[in-house]
Chains A and B, each alone.
Chain A
Amino acid sequence: MTSDWLNHLIIAPILLPLVASALLLLLDERRRLAKNAIALATLVAVLVVSVTLLLQTVRVGISGDSATRVYLIGDWAAPFGIVLVADWLSDLMLVLTAVIALAAFVYALARWDRAGPRFQALFLLQIMGLNGAFLTGDLFNLFVFFEILLAASYGLLLHGSGAERIKAGLHYVAINVGASLLFLIGVALIYGVTGTLNMADLGTIIPGVAGGDLALLQSGFAVLGIAFLLKAGMWPLGFWLPRTYAAAVPPAAAVFALLSKVGIYALLRVYLLLFGSEVGWEGNFGEEWLLFGGIATVAYGTIGVLAAQTLSRVAGFCVIISSGTLLASIGASEGTSLSPILFYMVSSTLGLSAFYLLLELVERREAEASVQAIVEPVFDDEYTGTISEPDAEEVGIVIPATIALLGGAFAFCALLLAGLPPLSGFIAKFAIIHNLLNLGPEVSAPVWAFVFLLIGSGLAILVATTRAGIDLLWEPSDKPQPPLRVAEAVPVGALLAICLGLMIFASPVMRYMERTSISLQDRQGYINAVLGAQRNTAESPP
């Protein structure tokens, strides 16, 4: 490390939003400008810190050294104190979080921050919880950060109030409190068997567990896995997801798209670290579940996307398809060659967030009369008069600029989510399929089924979005187009531009993902880095 303060940078993505949101609570609700300025500055700072961490990792890792950096909270030695770990995967998720958070917050500045009290504080707490979950190296600490991000997400979901949000919120809170209890049962079982909750320490202890303890430990991890999969929205645990996400205000929904990836992240982290092939027992613990569960999830999402009556539900089922694709491909590849999967995760998360932000803009013209813009059905399967209208004059209609802009962004999003060339979604899907077909000398039947389902789900997304796009953007409407604010157009454009960047710079991004994949499989490297972390008692404690 070049200097001492760079070491302390690891905790900044957690501390900055926490301090700022505490500060925001002290400010009066009427001082909106000050609150927004503080929150915006914090989010920019978090983005800068995350990118700095990522660049540090790349600089250290490019020489082939282990880029896993450990931060001992309170300077307690590793298995006893709580550690934060920044490695390739954590840094990637941090940057992804910061980018989406900044885009969603700028979008919210246009009007959504006024829809209810304390939006900024809740938003920052949400980011703190996400960052904490990505950084922590301790299972119980992971639970605490899960609770923080969940508590903030309850508030964000209810932001704006209204009967639909309250009803969806009631289910969401009840389901997630239940999932948290499962999480605790799992953690307690693991602690009861191994006597530690530090992930690196667990990695060293688990290979030695045998006999009746092994069954207990496996049940513990299975229960823990259910909690993660519920977060990720695996079938049949994901029925709550489309409705809940559809009820949330667009900036909150954009962050929620990231929330379901936390479950995937936790699965990757815990299962790859603790259940590698080196462990020796039950090498494929849970992988078949992931494959078949993922296939079922993609199938459910595909049917749902075709059946969805509103665009926000289409987006919800796209989240489910994305989760299912990730789960099934993690399960099929048995934890090896994760780089296409990670690329898909980044690309689809960005695309989904942009889609959630875009939805309301596209639907606004149709729903302007109604207060509940987000829960209005957009599809009108009956022909409501457009056919009987004389269509001769339509030839010379000039497309208004906002419609052209929105339509372009919508088409871009649809291509991205469906995985059509030439965008990053295509590269990701192509890489995943290529990877699946090269797993072994023979491709097994479930993998074939998954490949076909993957292509079919893309087609279904394309059909659903095309249908909505024609309905909302092409069909001439008498209603005047409400103005498109710059603060709303810029974040959507920025997210889509990043996706474009992923496509243009696919080669360096893929190299990063490959390094991430290698570091995830290097279990011993992680364990050595965490357990061998040096205390710096000589210097002032953090």
Chain B
Amino acid sequence: MELVLALGIGVFTSAGTWLILRPRTFQVILGLSLLSYAVNLFIYAMGRLRVDAPPVVGSEPVTDFARYADPLPQALVLTAIVISFAMTALLLVVLIAAHGLTGTDKVDGDDSQ
């Protein structure tokens, strides 16, 4: 499981990094989205990978905390997802406005090269 997750994060990160260095705005947005997936998975992994461990304590008295997963990274991921979602939406609006004003989808608004 560790290997799959690590590979997944690595692939997302490298693809995202490559994409944000591309000259077109849509590629940059896709790159940022991919990077944010990678980061979200990474935060999640920082809470250690556990199977069959609930993050929420039920009504029964807790005898052994080791049986539970760390809930905090999951809460952090939730916040990070919401924020990056909002930022992507905003970036899309700016992208459309830039396209409308400059008539090109290059990030520097210059289509001559």
A residues contacting B by CB (< 8 A) are 140, 144, 147, 151, 154, 158, 161-163, 166-167, 169-171, 173-174, 177-178, 180-181, 184-185, 187-189, 191-192, 195
Contact = CB atoms under 8 A, between A and B. Distances in A.
Interface string B57-73: 00000000000001011
B14 interface: no
A76 to B, nearest CB: 13
A394 B94 CA distance: 50
Nearest to B109: A167
B94 A173 contact: yes
Interface residues of B, number: 34
A188 B98 contact: no
28 contacts: A144-B79, A147-B83, A147-B87, A158-B94, A158-B97, A163-B101, A163-B102, A166-B94, A167-B108, A170-B25, A170-B107, A173-B90, A173-B94, A174-B32, A177-B36, A178-B32, A180-B83, A181-B32, A181-B39, A181-B84, A184-B39, A187-B43, A188-B39, A188-B42, A188-B73, A188-B76, A192-B47, A195-B70
A532 B97 CA distance: 51
A166 B91 contact: no
Contacts of A184: 39, 42-43, 80
B46 A180 contact: no
Q: Which has the most chain B C-beta neighbours within 10 Å: A162, A163, A189?
A: A163
Contacts of A158: 94, 97
The 3 closest A-B pairs by CB, nearest first: A192-B46, A188-B43, A188-B46
Given A178-B35, A188-B76, A167 B102 contact: yes
A304 B79 CA distance: 39
Given A151-B87, A188-B46, 12 more contacts: A154-B90, A154-B94, A162-B101, A167-B101, A170-B94, A174-B28, A177-B36, A177-B87, A180-B83, A185-B39, A188-B39, A192-B47
Contacts of B95: 170
Nearest to A191: B46
B89 to A, nearest CB: 11
B76 A177 contact: no
B104 to A, nearest CB: 11
B86 interface: yes
Interface of B: 20, 25, 28, 32, 35-36, 39, 42-43, 45-47, 70, 72-73, 76, 79-80, 83-84, 86-88, 90-91, 94-95, 97-98, 101-102, 107-109
Contacts of A161: 97
A191 B91 contact: no
Given A151-B86, A185-B42, A167 B91 contact: no
Nearest to A172: B94
A166 B98 contact: yes
Contacts of A169: 94, 98
Contacts of B94: 154, 158, 166, 169-170, 173
Contacts of A192: 45-47
Nearest to A155: B90
B63 to A, nearest CB: 21
B98 A167 contact: yes
Contacts of B97: 158, 161, 166
Nearest to B25: A170
Contacts of B73: 188, 191
